[in-house]
Copies of this chain bind each other. A is one copy, B any other.
Amino acid sequence: MKRTAFFISDGTGITAEGIGQSLLAQFENIEFVRITIPYIDSVEKARNAVERINKAAEGDDGKPIIFDTLVNSDVREEIAKANAFKVDVFGTFLAPLEAALDTKSTYKVGKSHSINKNTGAYEKRIEAVNYALDNDDGARIRMYDEADIIITGVSRSGKTPTCLYLALQYGLKAANYPITEEDINDQKIPAPLKPFKSKIFGLTIDPERLAVIRNERKPNSRYSSIKQCNYEVEEVELMYRRERIPYLNTTDYSVEEIATRVMVETGVERRVK
């Protein structure tokens, strides 16, 4: 079974993709070709999109599915002319929301990921990204007093992407400190982290998976051997438990999930909404 799914938006398409992906994930036996068409902000662009949608259906085992977050009703009506099944978020929910809020909506286009200068969200996120870069890998500047959170773990357990995601998505200042073999031999919380214990969150990972990831960087090394990975993971988990550092096994999680779970576990609040 093959079907084509379109995510159509007057903005980036990120929200339309999010809705579409979570709904399509419920249909595992269908193979979806996924196409995002962002910045559809005029009837003419919508007309071109409709052509593309109608063409895509050829060779499929059924009509295409459209997920759209178009605000402008003229554009939305144009898209509705496609020979497709349409999941229409604004068309479905805006009128009931207007009733619930007892207010007319302003029908502004492309708002969800557009910049809002008043909140300073852009600056906060950029500042947080710079902070994450400056405080990556424990080796550089250590501005741990400024950190919202300090992520720790052995090499390749997912610290850097987690910190960057926390910065980009939530504006959080996330530092990261890699647990080295020396730290492990000490069997204690690393000295530079000691004064900031309340901010520390540990990552761990299944040794087999760690070995696979490390092998990609340094194939057939002691560093990537299953023996070494077993040793490091075991010791770091012991240290977490002994020092009562909250920690998470990242093996089965995406970057988004690690980041949001870290926030839930620590109670750290996002800095941008």
Residue A253 interfacial (CB < 8 Å) = yes
Residues of B within 8 Å of A1, CB to CB, are 103
Partner of A21, one of B3, B112, B257: B112
- Complex Cα spacing A120 to B171, Å: 27
- Complex Cα spacing A260 to B169, Å: 15
Encoded as 1 (CB less than 8 Å from any B CB) or 0, chain A from 94 to 116 comes to: 10110011110111100111110
Closest residue of chain B to A92, judged by CB? B92
Pairwise interchain contact B108-A161, C-beta atoms closer than 8 A: no
- Complex Cα spacing A130 to B218, Å: 14
- Complex Cα spacing A129 to B264, Å: 24
Partner of A23, one of B94, B213, B259: B94
How many copies make up the complex? Answer: 2
- Complex Cα spacing A105 to B253, Å: 23
- Complex Cα spacing A204 to B25, Å: 38
| Tally of chain A residues near chain B (CB < 8 A) | 78
Residues of B within 8 Å of A122, CB to CB, are 254-255
Residue A228 interfacial (CB < 8 Å) = no
* Interface hub of A28, A34, A106, A122 (most chain B Cβ within 10 A): A122
Q: Which residues 154-173 in A have Cβ within 8 Å of B in the complex? A: 158, 160-161, 164-165, 168-169
Pairwise interchain contact A63-B3, C-beta atoms closer than 8 A: no
Given A27-B101, A136-B133, A161-B129; A273-B34 close (CB under 8 Å):
yes
A49 CB → nearest B CB, Å: 13
* Interface hub of A27, A63, A125 (most chain B Cβ within 10 A): A27
Residues of B within 8 Å of A107, CB to CB, are 26
Residues of B within 8 Å of A268, CB to CB, are none
Encoded as 1 (CB less than 8 Å from any B CB) or 0, chain A from 32 to 74 comes to: 0010001100000000000000000000001101000101000
A-B CB contact pairs (8 Å), 21 listed: A12-B260, A13-B260, A14-B18, A15-B15, A15-B18, A18-B18, A19-B19, A23-B90, A25-B108, A26-B71, A26-B105, A39-B260, A85-B97, A87-B97, A113-B254, A115-B253, A123-B216, A126-B158, A129-B160, A161-B168, A168-B255
